[in-house]
Each structure stands twice: as C-alpha cells, then as structure tokens.
C-alpha cells in the first residue's frame, strides 16, 4: 500500500467475471492478447496487486470493462515487480495503482520502454507509522518520533529480540522502515505481521484491549473509518531525502498514485486502454468499494456493481 510494495491482501474475493484469478501467479502462466483497436475490446489483462484498495480499483475497472465495453477481463494476482515484468511479454496490460516506484519506472519505462504512464488515479497515498487511538490519547508525546525510545520497552514482543516491535505488513512490502529505525537510532526491530489482514487485526485488537502496538500503515484504507489510527510524526520529508534507501532518515512522501500500462496496450488505442487512462476517483470512492469487499464480504463483482450503479455519472465520464 508503496515505497510500499503493499502486498498483503484482505483475501481476493471470488470474482463473478469472466476472468482468471491466479493467486500467487507468475508472469508466464498464461498468454495474452491485449485490447484490440477499431472499437473492439478483446482480452484485457489486468494485474491485481494484493491489497484491498487495489482490489477495489480492479473490481470497478474490470466491471466497467466487461459490462460497458464487452471486454474479456483476465485478472492476475501478482506482486508489484512481477506485474511490471509482464508488460514486456504482453501478459499484463495495466497496473492500476502505482505507489511511486521510480526504480521500476526507470527500468521499464525509461530503460526497456515496455511500459508507459497512464495518468493519475486521483488517490492520494500516505504511508507512515501509526499507533492505536487509545495509546495516542494516553501518551500524547508518543506521536513524536524522538520520544519513541522512551517507550520502546512497552512494545517488546517475543519476536522483537529485546527491542520494541515495529509491526510491518507482508514481507514483500518494500519499505524504508528498517533504514529509519537504524538511522534514527531507535531501539526497535521491524517484525512482519504477514499480510494486510494480519496488520489490520493487530491494530484492531490493540485498540480493543489497550495493547501497545506501533506499525506501518497507509491511506487510502477503509479500516481508518473503523479505528482512526494516529500517525507518528517522523522527520519531515524533503525532496531527495529518500534517494538512497540505506540512508533514509525522513518520513514518506505523499504519493499521487498513478497508473502504468504496457507500451503495446497503449499503442493499441483500444477501449480498455481509454478506460484505464480516464479512470479517476477519490480516496473515499476506493474506501467505499474496499469496505464492501473486506467488511461486507461482497464479491468484487458485486461490490463494483453496487458502486457503479450509484455513481453512473462518474463512470460515464470515463467512457466518453
């Protein structure tokens, strides 16, 4: 959910679309046709990076592509960098939610020229360290990073090796957290919850039982409407302060989340490409659909249908 290869999923729902959902898939698992020009859609290969906000993006775009454009949608559950590898083979047409990743852009857009940018999603991405509301209320100074060592002992767990535990999500997330702990001289150790779901459950339990938890989290994310986590103030982000990963000692930037597509897909000029390029919504929109999936246990198709039917004007604007 980034600098952030946010990968922990809230469980990809079984989709009622014509699609292939290859959990843990690898590029090379299936062939690709890509969208065709001249007004006909054909096959649309959509990467699904496994966090529930991305699932919401994919659910809505896939639903509109199928029901309004007549596309055959093939969804592929892929980690972020694996998805980008698919641009060159034609096995991935679009990534709908990219969190910065200048390294991948340099490799696949500038270097290999297998991918191109396709505009912003409208979502603002915020990453950082958060604590449950009860803890911020009981110890207001804990939201300042310089005070964290004072409380490090309270965050110790059996997995943190005698240090305070800083809880991250899935091990495939690429974050700055280990570098931040080291460079800010904090008596903490990064421990992985294992998934987005596990991370959410840890914060939910901490708030309910007044337990000491500090961890990586992000917006947009529906869970913040249930438990309004409080962000810890890290040293202010300035341009270039995160240029060298091992030396990072500043907060994460605010990301203008964007879309990336294969160069082949963009050149097709097909209706699915036009839809991806025009797809644009808000954090509130995404959180609404994500909550349908994660909390209401709706299938992605049903969640998308519910949102599309109540936001037809917005969807129609994507189709013009």
Query: pLDDT digit string (tens) for 3-27?
Result: 444 333 333 333 333 333 333 344 4
Range with lowest mean pLDDT among 38-42, 126-130, 224-228, 310-314: 38-42
Q: Is residue 291 part of a domain?
A: yes
pLDDT in tens, 225-259: 999 999 999 999 999 999 999 999 999 999 999 99
**Could you give the number of structural domains in the chain?**
2
Q: Is residue 24 part of a domain?
A: no
Q: CATH number of the domain that 93 lies in? A: 3.40.190.10
Q: Looking at the whole model, is its pTM more than 0.85? A: no
Q: Is residue 243 part of a domain?
A: yes
3-state SS of the chain is: CCCCCCCCCCCCCCCCCCCCCCCCCCCCCCCCCCECCCCCCEEEEEEECCCHHHHHHHHHHHHHHHHHHCCEEEEEECCHHHHHHHHHHCCCCEEEEECCCHHHHHHHHHHCCCEEEEEEEEEEEEEEEEECHHHHHHCHHHHEHHHHHHHHHHHECCCCCCCEEEEECCCCCCCCHHHHHHHCCCCEEEEECCCHHHHHHHHHHHHHHCCCCCEEEEECCHHHHCCCCEECECCCCCCCCCCCHHHCCCCCCCEEEEEEEEHHHHHHCCHHHHHHHHCCCCHHHHHHHHHHHHCCCCCHHHHHHHHHHHCHHHHHHHHC
Q: Do 55 and 105 reside in the same domain of the chain?
A: yes
Q: Is residue 137 part of a domain?
A: yes
Q: Do 71 and 158 reside in the same domain of the chain?
A: no
pLDDT in tens, 95-147: 999 998 888 999 999 999 999 999 999 999 999 999 999 999 999 999 999 99
Q: CATH number of the domain that 218 lies in? A: 3.40.190.100
Q: Which domain holds residue 312?
A: 43-123+257-319
Q: Is residue 168 part of a domain?
A: yes
Q: Do 148 and 295 reside in the same domain of the chain?
A: no
Question: Would you state the pLDDT for residue 19?
Answer: 36
């Amino acid at each position: 959910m980034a600098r952030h290869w946010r990968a922990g999923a809230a469980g990809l729902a079984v989709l009622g679309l014509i699609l292939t959902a290859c959990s843990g898939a690898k590029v090379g698992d299936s062939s690709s046709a890509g969208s065709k020009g001249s007004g006909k859609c054909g096959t649309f290969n959509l990467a699904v990076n496994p966090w529930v906000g991305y699932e919401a993006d994919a659910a809505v775009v896939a639903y509109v592509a199928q029901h309004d454009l007549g596309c055959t949608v093939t969804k592929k559950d892929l980690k972020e960098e694996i998805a980008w590898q698919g641009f060159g083979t034609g096995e991935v047409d679009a990534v709908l939610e990219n969190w910065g990743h200048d390294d991948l852009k340099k490799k696949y857009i500038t270097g290999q020229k297998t991918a191109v940018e396709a505009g912003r999603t409208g979502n603002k991405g915020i990453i950082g360290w958060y604590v449950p509301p009860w803890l911020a209320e009981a110890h207001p100074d804990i939201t300042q990073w310089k005070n964290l060592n004072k409380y490090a002992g309270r965050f110790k767990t059996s997995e943190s090796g005698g240090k305070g535990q800083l809880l991250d999500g899935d091990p495939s997330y690429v974050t700055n957290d280990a570098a931040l702990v080291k460079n800010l001289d904090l008596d903490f150790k990064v421990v992985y919850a294992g998934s987005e779901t596990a991370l959410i459950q840890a914060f939910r339990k901490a708030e309910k039982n007044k337990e000491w938890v500090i961890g990586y989290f992000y917006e947009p994310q529906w869970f913040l409407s249930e438990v309004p986590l409080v962000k810890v103030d890290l040293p202010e982000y300035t341009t270039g302060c995160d240029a060298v990963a091992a030396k990072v000692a500043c907060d994460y930037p605010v990301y203008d989340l964007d879309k990336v597509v294969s160069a082949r897909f963009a050149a097709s000029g097909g209706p699915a490409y036009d839809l991806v390029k025009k797809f644009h919504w808000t954090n509130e929109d995404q959180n609404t659909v994500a909550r349908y999936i994660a909390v209401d246990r709706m299938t992605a198709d049903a969640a998308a249908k519910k949102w599309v039917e109540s936001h037809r004007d917005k969807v129609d604007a994507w189709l013009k």
